[in-house]
C-alpha cells in the first residue's frame, strides 16, 4: 500500500513537471504577442512576436485586384537575371516606360495595349519627363532622346558624355540631364543643342546604390547629389555652383547622395546611402536637422510628413521637427521608394516578390501582394490603380478598393 501511494505521488509529480514545461512557453508567448497594427513598435517587437506577425487585425481592409496588363521585350531569351530600373510615368492616360532590352514604350491605359515602341541604342533606366507633346528620357549609352508623345517619332537625340539613368528635368525651354560622369548638362528643348555643362567634381564618379540623383528645381537653383556624398546647388541659368554640402559619411562603405531631393515648405529634404536624412536650407545649404539610420531611398511628402525607406524599413517623420511619427519593419533586405496612392495608402515594392500597401496615417500593414521576381522600379498611381513594372518585364495593374471594417482589433 505504501508502495502504491509513493508511486502515485511520483506519477503526479512527473505529470505536473510535464505540464509546466508545456504551458510555460505558451504563457510567455501569449504575454508578448500583440496584433501587428501599431507600426511604432515594429522595430522593438520581440522574437516570438515576429513568428506571429502574419496574423494581423486591421481596422481598415483593402481589396486589391491584380491584373497582368502588358508584356515587354526581355533583355535576353532566357532572362535568367531579370531586372528593370526605369520607373513608369503617366501623362494623359498614357504610361511611358523603358526596359533593359533597348526599348521605350507608350501604353494606352484605356485599351491596355501598346500605342508605340521606340528602339534605343542602349538599355533604358531613366524615367521619362514631359513637355507639351514631347517626351524626354536617356539611356545607358549616354543618349538623350526627344520623341513625339503621340506617335513615338524621334524629334532629336543628343549624345552626352556618359550614361543617363536619372530623370531629365524640363524647365524654361531647357532640358537638364545629369550623367554618370557627375556633369549637369543644359540642352535646348527645341533643337537638342548643348548650351552648357558643369565640370565633374571628382575624377571617378563611383558606384551608386540607387542609380543617379534626379535634378530638382527650386526657384533659380538645381540640386543634384553625388556618389561622393555631396549635395550641390547649381545656378539654373549658368551652371555655376551656389553652394555644396558634404552629407554622406566617407567612413562608411556607401555614402552617396543618389536620391532625388524634395522641396516642401521652403525646405530641402534629402537622404544618403549610409542612412542619413536631412532638412536643409535651400538658399544657404545649412543643415536644419538630421537623422542617422533613417533611410536611403527617394522621399515622399504629404501633409507635413516625410516618408522614406531604408534597410527594409518604411519610416514617417515630421517634416518640420524631424521627430519620428511611425516605423514599419518588413524584414527584407531592400525596399523601393514610398509612393502615395488613394485611398490614403503608401505602396512600396521589394525584390523579394512582394508589394506592400501601408496605411499612410499610422503605418499599419494593410495588404501584401505577390509579384514574380519583385520590382526595382517604383510604382506609379493614377486614381485608385497602381501600376508596377516588374523585373520580369510585365506591367501589372492593382485596383485598390476600400472595404468596410472586416477585422476587430484585439483589446489592449
Counting Cβ atoms within 10 Å, is residue 173 exposed (0-12), middle (13-18) or buried (19+)? exposed
- Residue 237 Cα to chain centre, angstroms: 31
Q: Torsion over CA of 109, 110, 113 and 118, rounded to 10 degrees?
A: -50
Distances (CA, A) of 42 to 51, 305, 315: 13, 19, 10
| CATH node for 36-72+307-412 | 2.130.10.10
11 DSSP 8-state letter = H
Q: How many CB atoms are closer than 10 A to CB 380?
A: 21
Place of cell 503621340: 150
- pLDDT in single tens digits along all 412 residues of the chain: 444 556 666 666 777 666 665 555 444 433 333 334 445 555 555 444 444 444 445 567 788 888 888 999 887 666 555 788 899 999 988 999 999 999 999 999 989 899 999 999 999 999 999 999 999 999 999 999 999 999 999 999 999 999 999 999 999 999 999 998 889 999 999 999 999 999 987 655 554 555 678 999 999 999 999 888 899 999 999 999 999 999 987 777 777 888 889 999 999 999 998 889 999 999 999 999 999 878 778 899 999 999 999 888 999 999 999 999 999 999 888 899 999 998 889 999 998 889 999 999 999 999 999 888 889 999 999 988 999 999 989 999 999 988 766 555 554 4
pLDDT for residue 75: 73
SS3 at position 27 = helix
Per-residue pLDDT, 258: 84
Q: Which three cell numbers stand for residue 101?
A: 532590352
CB 174 within 8 A of CB 131: no
Give the pLDDT of residue 50: 47
Give the domain ranges of the chain: 36-72+307-412
- Calculate the CA 334 to chain-centre distance: 10
Q: Which of 64, 66, 141 is nearest to 397 (CA)?
A: 66
Number of Cβ atoms within 10 Å of the Cβ of 370: 9
Q: Say what the pLDDT of residue 372 is.
A: 80
| Side-by-side strand order, sheet with 277-280 | 262-264, 267-271, 277-280, 287-291
| 16: its cell numbers | 505536473
Angle at 79 between CA 76 and CA 84, to 5 degrees: 95
DSSP H helical segments within 178-246, as ranges? none
> pTM of the full predicted structure?
0.82
- Cβ atoms of 215 and 231 closer than 8 Å: no
Contact 35, 43 (CB under 8 A): no
CA 125 to chain centre: 15
- Residues with Cβ within 8 Å of 88's Cβ and at least 6 positions away in sequence, in order, are 95, 96, 97, 127, 377, 379, 380, 387, 388, 389, 395
Amino acid at each position: 500500500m505504501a508502495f502504491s501511494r509513493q508511486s502515485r505521488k511520483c506519477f503526479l509529480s512527473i505529470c505536473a513537471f510535464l505540464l509546466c514545461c508545456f504551458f510555460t512557453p505558451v504563457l510567455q508567448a501569449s504575454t508578448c504577442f500583440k496584433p501587428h497594427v501599431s507600426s511604432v513598435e515594429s522595430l522593438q517587437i520581440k522574437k516570438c512576436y515576429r513568428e506571429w506577425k502574419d496574423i494581423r487585425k486591421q481596422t481598415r481592409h483593402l481589396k486589391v485586384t491584380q491584373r497582368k496588363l502588358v508584356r515587354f521585350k526581355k533583355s535576353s531569351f532566357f532572362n535568367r537575371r531579370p531586372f528593370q530600373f526605369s520607373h513608369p510615368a503617366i501623362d494623359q492616360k498614357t504610361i511611358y516606360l523603358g526596359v533593359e532590352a533597348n526599348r521605350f514604350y507608350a501604353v494606352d491605359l484605356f485599351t491596355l495595349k501598346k500605342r508605340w515602341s521606340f528602339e534605343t541604342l542602349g538599355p533604358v533606366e531613366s524615367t521619362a519627363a514631359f513637355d507639351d507633346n514631347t517626351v524626354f528620357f536617356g539611356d545607358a549609352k549616354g543618349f538623350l532622346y526627344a520623341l513625339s508623345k503621340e506617335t513615338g517619332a524621334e524629334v532629336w537625340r543628343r549624345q552626352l558624355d556618359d550614361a543617363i539613368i536619372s530623370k531629365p528635368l524640363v524647365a524654361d525651354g531647357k532640358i537638364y540631364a545629369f550623367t554618370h560622369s557627375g556633369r549637369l548638362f543644359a540642352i535646348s528643348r527645341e533643337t537638342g543643342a548643348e548650351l552648357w555643362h558643369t565640370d565633374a567634381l571628382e575624377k571617378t564618379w563611383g558606384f551608386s546604390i540607387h542609380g543617379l540623383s534626379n535634378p530638382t528645381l527650386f526657384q533659380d537653383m538645381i540640386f543634384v547629389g553625388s556618389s561622393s556624398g555631396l549635395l550641390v546647388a547649381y545656378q539654373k541659368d549658368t551652371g555655376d555652383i551656389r553652394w555644396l554640402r558634404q552629407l554622406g559619411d566617407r567612413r562608411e562603405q556607401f555614402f552617396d547622395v543618389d536620391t532625388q531631393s524634395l522641396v516642401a515648405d521652403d525646405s530641402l529634404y534629402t537622404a544618403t546611402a549610409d542612412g542619413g536624412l536631412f532638412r536643409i536650407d535651400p538658399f544657404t545649404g545649412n543643415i536644419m536637422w538630421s537623422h542617422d539610420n533613417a533611410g536611403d531611398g527617394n522621399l515622399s511628402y504629404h501633409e507635413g510628413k516625410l516618408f522614406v525607406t531604408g534597410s527594409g524599413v518604411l519610416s514617417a517623420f515630421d517634416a518640420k521637427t524631424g521627430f519620428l511619427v511611425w516605423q514599419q519593419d518588413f524584414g527584407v533586405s531592400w525596399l523601393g521608394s514610398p509612393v502615395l496612392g488613394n485611398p490614403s495608402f503608401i505602396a512600396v515594392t521589394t525584390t523579394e516578390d512582394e508589394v506592400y500597401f501601408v496605411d499612410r496615417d499610422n503605418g499599419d500593414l494593410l495588404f501584401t501582394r505577390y509579384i514574380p521576381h519583385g520590382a526595382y522600379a517604383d510604382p506609379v498611381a493614377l486614381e485608385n490603380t497602381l501600376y508596377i513594372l516588374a523585373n520580369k518585364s510585365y506591367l501589372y495593374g492593382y485596383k485598390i478598393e476600400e472595404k468596410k471594417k472586416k477585422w476587430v482589433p484585439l483589446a489592449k
